[in-house]
């Protein structure tokens, strides 16, 4: 993700009371015809401080770039000059945001009975911080009367704005300690589908699923779920600025936010896919683990790493199942184990609706970016199977994934997760890559 530098007070986040609108804001698809043209397009991207929504990859130089109206004419003209092929990919971002808002309103009105189990919680909607926490507490309470599963909530830390960061532990409850899997979502505020997917996993595991995976998964693993690691940013993306990515720490009354996924302390380096500019959308922080959110989750993982076999962090978008490293194109020595397990997951995920995912190391498949949580979990905490999963879609809606795609995304992702986890060899617990 490239730098979305704060170009106005609105984007810097100093306007707190009004929703920022995206009328006429566009996402362009740019297809350079040669390596040389690609370099020129990237230079234009840097010059205009554009936000790269989908990066060019090896063998596929096309990219999607978000452009504000005030820059549009000039950007289109320089792109025309160099001869790159340009298409309007999303014509009016506000239209997508409006559609999303009206389907959120509709989904909240839907009666509980048509939505499945669970104390009235509609899994196929985008929820706010307080309902997510309430849901976690409700699940923990509900398991008090269940004999085969136990769930408990721990607050592992607090954010810059004082919100709770919560983890739900789900186990068989028979006092047998099993290898564990840690799953998080919402490191990036605007990727709303990630917390929704993680909440659905909790529901399937605790209340059982149609495929019968839940029982096998509880017999094999203890589970940790942190559905919302960046609640301040998430709330801000609901109340003020739909495309907010970072947390909401204030930097010297100038700009807000650190990109938590550039802030983890393994090979931390702002020069690799991050930034030292506090206003950048990929600001890496003043030092590794400068942020309360990354501190909280890393301390929790360190305390529980003994038995941790896998870590999956859910993001959006692009449909990719990525493994380390993000700081280098070199691969970890056991990359073939990670690759095979990811391919088992993506194959199963695709069985439901034919959704395809790319599998590979994040530098090789996506771009290089140091300070990611996956790199630290593998390199720093020694958890063997560490992944970043980029959920739907491939760019038609990008971060503004319509409400009607929540259900298929959750269902296919659950299937992918189950197949992945059941394929792991638990005798390897604790081995380092
Ligand atoms: O750039 C990121 O942080 C992730 N992509 S996103 O579009 N969700 O922002 C990818 C992170 C991959 N992992 C590492 N670079 N370590
Ligand atoms: Zn992300």
Q: Which ligand is closest in space to the CA of residue 2?
A: 1
- What are the residues whose beta carbons fall under 8 Å from the beta carbon of 13, sequence distance 6 or more? 6, 236, 240, 241, 244, 248, 255, 256, 257
Best probe residue, ligand 1, of 338, 362, 380, 383 (max atoms within 8 Å of C-beta): 362
Q: What is the pLDDT of residue 119?
A: 57
- What are the residues whose beta carbons fall under 8 Å from the beta carbon of 271, sequence distance 6 or more? 370
Distance 315 CA to ligand 2 centre (A): 4
* Partners of 250 in the β-ladder: 256
Region 412-417 average pLDDT: 98
* Partners of 311 in the β-ladder: 182, 386
Best probe residue, ligand 1, of 57, 64, 66, 188 (max atoms within 8 Å of C-beta): 188
pLDDT in tens, 190-233: 999 999 999 999 999 999 998 899 999 999 999 999 999 999 99
* H or E stretch at 415: helix 406-423
Q: What is the pLDDT of residue 15?
A: 43
Q: What is the pLDDT of residue 128?
A: 95
Q: What is the pLDDT of residue 75?
A: 94
Ligand 1 pocket member 230 (CB < 6 A): no
8 Å CB contact between 158 and 292? yes
> Residue 259 CA: which ligand 1 atom is closest?
3
Kindly tell me if the per-residue pLDDT of 12 is higher than 90: no
Region 271-293 average pLDDT: 96
Confidence of residue 120 (pLDDT cuts 50, 70, 90): confident
Higher pLDDT, 336 or 18: 336
pLDDT in tens, 236-247: 999 999 999 999
What whole-number distance in Å separates Cα of residue 91 and Cα of residue 45?
Answer: 19
pLDDT in tens, 61-84: 899 999 999 999 999 999 999 999
> Which residue in 100, 390, 407, 412 is the catalytic one?
390
Q: What is the pLDDT of residue 433?
A: 40
> Mean pLDDT in the chain?
91
Kindly tell me if the per-residue pLDDT of 127 is higher than 50: yes
Region 47-57 average pLDDT: 89
Kindly tell me if the per-residue pLDDT of 1 is higher than 80: no
Active site annotation includes 73: no
Q: Which ligand is closest in space to the CA of residue 266?
A: 1
Confidence of residue 113 (pLDDT cuts 50, 70, 90): very low
Best probe residue, ligand 1, of 27, 184, 190, 261 (max atoms within 8 Å of C-beta): 261
Q: What is the pLDDT of residue 5?
A: 41
Region 114-133 average pLDDT: 79
Ligand 1 pocket member 360 (CB < 6 A): no
Kindly tell me if the per-residue pLDDT of 118 is higher than 90: no
Q: What is the pLDDT of residue 252?
A: 86
Kindly report the three-state secondary structure assignment for every residue of 106-146: HHHHCCHHHHCCCCCCCCCCCCCHHHHHHHHHHHHHHHCCC
pLDDT in tens, 394-405: 989 999 999 999
Kindly tell me if the per-residue pLDDT of 172 is higher than 70: yes
From its phi and psi, is residue 119 left (phi > 0), alpha (psi between -120 and 50) or beta? left
Region 42-49 average pLDDT: 90
Residue 255, SS3 per DSSP:
strand
Q: What is the pLDDT of residue 4?
A: 42
């Amino acid at each position: 993700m490239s730098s979305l530098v704060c170009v106005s007070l609105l984007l810097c986040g100093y306007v707190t009371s009004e929703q920022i609108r995206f009328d006429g804001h566009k996402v362009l698809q740019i297809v350079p015809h040669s390596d040389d043209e690609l370099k020129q397009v990237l230079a234009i991207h840097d010059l205009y401080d554009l936000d790269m929504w989908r990066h060019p990859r090896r063998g596929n130089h096309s990219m999607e770039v978000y452009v504000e109206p005030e820059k549009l004419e000039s950007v289109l003209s320089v792109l025309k000059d160099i001869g790159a092929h340009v298409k309007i990919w999303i014509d009016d971002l506000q239209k997508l945001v409006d559609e999303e808002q009206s389907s959120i309103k509709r989904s909240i009105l839907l009666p509980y009975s048509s939505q499945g189990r669970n104390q009235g919680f509609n899994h196929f909607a985008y929820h706010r911080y307080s309902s997510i926490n309430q849901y976690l507490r409700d699940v923990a309470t509900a398991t008090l009367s269940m004999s085969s599963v136990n769930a408990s909530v721990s607050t592992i830390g607090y954010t810059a704005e004082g919100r709770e960061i919560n983890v739900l532990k789900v186990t068989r409850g028979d006092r047998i300690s099993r290898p564990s899997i840690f799953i998080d979502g919402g490191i990036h505020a605007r990727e709303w589908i990630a917390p929704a997917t993680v909440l659905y996993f909790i529901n399937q595991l605790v209340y059982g699923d149609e495929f019968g995976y839940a029982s096998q998964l509880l017999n094999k693993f203890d589970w940790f779920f942190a559905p919302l690691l960046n609640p301040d940013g998430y709330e801000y993306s609901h109340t003020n600025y739909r495309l907010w990515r970072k947390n909401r720490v204030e930097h010297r009354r100038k700009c807000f936010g650190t990109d938590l996924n550039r802030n983890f302390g393994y090979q931390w380096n702002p020069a690799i896919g991050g930034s030292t500019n506090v206003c950048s959308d990929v600001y890496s922080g003043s030092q590794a683990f400068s942020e309360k959110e990354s501190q909280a989750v890393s301390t929790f993982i360190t305390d529980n790493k003994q038995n941790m076999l896998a870590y999956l962090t859910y993001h959006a978008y692009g449909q990719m199942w990525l493994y380390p490293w993000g700081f280098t194109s070199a691969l970890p020595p056991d990359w073939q184990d990670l690759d095979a397990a990811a391919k088992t997951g993506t194959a199963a995920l695709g069985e439901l609706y034919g959704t395809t995912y790319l599998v590979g190391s994040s530098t090789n498949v996506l771009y290089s970016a140091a300070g990611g949580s996956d790199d630290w979990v593998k390199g720093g905490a020694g958890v063997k199977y560490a992944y970043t999963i980029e959920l739907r879609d491939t760019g038609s809606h990008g971060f503004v994934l319509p409400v009607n795609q929540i259900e298929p995304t959750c269902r296919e992702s659950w299937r992918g997760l189950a197949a992945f986890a059941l394929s792991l060899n638990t005798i390897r617990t604790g081995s380092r890559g």
